[in-house]
Structure 1
Amino acid sequence: MATIKATAIMLLCIALSFSTIAQTSNPWKGKKCAVVLTYDDGLDVHLTNAIPALDSLGLKATFYIANYNGKLQSQIPGWRAAAAKGHELANHTIFHPCEGGRAGREFVTADYDLNNYSMRRITNEIRAMNAVLFAIDGKTNRTFAFPCGDNKVHDTAYIDSLHKEFIAARGVVGTIPTIDKVNLYDFPAYGVLNHSGDAMIEWVKEAQAKQGLLVILFHGVGGEHDLNVSLQAHSQLLHYLKQHEKEIWVAPLVEVAAFVKERQGK
């Protein structure tokens, strides 16, 4: 009898060991890594080019919507349909304020220069955009992306007063952290600037090797923005992700953030 009990205990320990190894080697919902596809600014090409490509492969993404280009009203039916298909509509402010007054920021006007904002103005603008997004998709759980990656008004990190409104926020610094190293209110992101499909796939392969998180930041997809990716390169990346879906978890940032938060809380 004692021998049977000892054998049973040994088999249980072996099973638990294998389970632990499996969880360690596949930490992202049973997969090696997580990839989040994000698209900034609420461009027409996101609706005409990106979403059809994603939908054709059953992939879900996050779209950070702003209205500095004045196109949001005409886009609402398209965004509502995208949300119904499982894409995240996320907050990128209304007017996309960035810090001006330095090289490369000539596009920043005085009206929407973050240096001229107060904390009250930036938080009110962000909350107003949340109300707009709620009117489109009826959801309250979403994420935020810092325009131009600028996350402070003067010396104050404005996201600190908005944690109740957002489960996470995305920045613009490209790294591939493991679950325990993810900062929920400064998710990393690799920005795309005319990268080839092969170059972006190398990012994914690195995430697979490191068992980490890769967030990719797109603007133009086949045009409409100086920060662009060709339709061919975009398609090549999406097809690689689809072909390797058994080991790559592709999901909107709001879902990945919830998973990270739960894991970090253990």
Structure 2
Amino acid sequence: MKNSFLLIALAFFSGSLFAQNPAWKGKKCAVALTYDDGLQVHLDNVVPALDSLGFKGTFYLSGSFPGVTARVADWKKAATHGHELANHTLFHPCTGGPGREWVSANRDLRTYTVPRIVDEIRMTNTFLEALDGKKQRTFAYPCGDRTVGGENYYEKVTGDFVAARGTTSEMKQPTAIDLGNVGAYGINGQSGEEMIALVKQAMATNSVLVFLFHGVGGEHNLNVALPEHRKLLAFLKQHENEIWIAPFIEVAQSVKPKTGGK
């Protein structure tokens, strides 16, 4: 009987440990809503939706993209509303090759050097600081590609960032997170119910859940329909007392003491 009681107590403690994380305000899980490529639909569709619910999102901007250069004032305004402007490099280079014919020769990581990508990343940080005045920043790997000439280029700029977001579809408890490559669920055509199921899984496992969106109501071939996006936001709002919704940088900062800055 005594052993049974001990097992029950241990199970309860294990299941509630991270729910008591002060950085999460005692909630069951942490959710970060991230949006890539600085699209105009992010400004027109996403920012107003988040603002209406009191949520703050993370927007990964590539400094040369049309949706960024054409709407600089609007991105500044989004920052004043508390949204995170984050680094997605200057030109969004990816590794080309078979199956990736859409990668242009001058944006192919196979033709890059590590110093070149480092310079472009740091230039983007300077650009972003001009928009929001902030020094602390997070990074997202374009296309999830992490190497130049076989070398992990992020290792050269680790000190410039709080964390880096990857593209591996996974959610983890805080102590298991690698801040150099935080997993994220890429959304492309999923229903609101499918996205909500991920949130419920994070709640049940006291995990960090990062959503990775591109198009929201259009403008990108990776897209989620507006009504489905609204369903997710509505669920998050309804369960706000159990879910901590915050920009990716704040979520990363909440787990950093537990990972020793890994």
CA distance in structure 1 between the partners assigned to 2:147 and 2:132 by the alignment:
28
- Secondary structure at the aligned position of 2:71 is classed as helix
CA distance in structure 2 between the partners assigned to 1:170 and 1:20 by the alignment:
27
Q: For residue 130 of structure 1, what is the amino acid of its counterpart?
A: N
Give the aligned partner of residue 214 of structure 1. Answer: 209
- Secondary structure at the aligned position of 1:217 is classed as strand
> Among 225, 229, 235, which residue is 2:230 paired with?
235
Q: Deviations over 1:175-204 (max 9, x none)?
A: 110000011010100000111100100110
Q: For residue 109 of structure 2, what is the amino acid of its counterpart?
A: L
Residues 96, 147 of structure 1: 8 Å contact kept: yes
Give the aligned partner of residue 81 of structure 2. Answer: 85
1:47 correspondence with 2:43: yes
CA 1:216 to 1:20, structure 2 compared with 1: closer, same or farther past 3 Å? closer
Tell me how far 1:24 sits from its aligned partner. Answer: 4.2
- Secondary structure at the aligned position of 1:164 is classed as helix
Tell me how far 1:86 sits from its aligned partner. Answer: 0.8
Q: Deviations over 1:199-258 (max 9, x none)?
A: 100110110111101100000010000000011000000010011011101101111111
Tell me how far 1:26 sits from its aligned partner. Answer: 3.5
> Among 140, 147, 153, which residue is 1:152 paired with?
147
Give the aligned partner of residue 95 of structure 1. Answer: 91
- Dislocated runs of 4+, deviation >6 Å: 18-21
Matches within 5 A, 1:191-206: 191-206=186-201
Aligned-residue Cα RMSD (Å) equals 1.8
Aligned residues: 248
Give the aligned partner of residue 7 of structure 2. Answer: none
CA distance in structure 2 between the partners assigned to 1:261 and 1:168 by the alignment:
9
Residues 63, 127 of structure 2: 8 Å contact kept: no
1:164 correspondence with 2:166: no
Give the aligned partner of residue 223 of structure 1. Answer: 218
Tell me how far 1:85 sits from its aligned partner. Answer: 0.9
Matches within 5 A, 1:10-21: none
Give the aligned partner of residue 9 of structure 1. Answer: none
Residues 60, 252 of structure 1: 8 Å contact kept: yes
1:26 correspondence with 2:20: yes
CA distance in structure 1 between the partners assigned to 2:32 and 2:212 by the alignment:
9
- Normalised to the residue count of structure 1, the TM-score between the two structures is 0.89
- Secondary structure at the aligned position of 2:76 is classed as helix
- Normalised to the residue count of structure 2, the TM-score between the two structures is 0.91
CA distance in structure 2 between the partners assigned to 1:211 and 1:22 by the alignment:
8
CA distance in structure 2 between the partners assigned to 1:264 and 1:145 by the alignment:
19
* Rg comparison, structure with higher value: 1
> Among 103, 107, 114, which residue is 1:112 paired with?
107
Q: Deviations over 1:7-42 (max 9, x none)?
A: xxxxxxxxxxx9998644433331100100000000
Q: For residue 259 of structure 1, what is the amino acid of its counterpart?
A: S
Q: For residue 88 of structure 1, what is the amino acid of its counterpart?
A: E
Q: Which runs of 5+ in 2 are unaligned?
A: 1-11
1:124 correspondence with 2:119: yes
Give the aligned partner of residue 11 of structure 1. Answer: none
> Among 175, 180, 184, which residue is 2:179 paired with?
184
- Secondary structure at the aligned position of 2:47 is classed as helix
Residues 26, 33 of structure 1: 8 Å contact kept: no
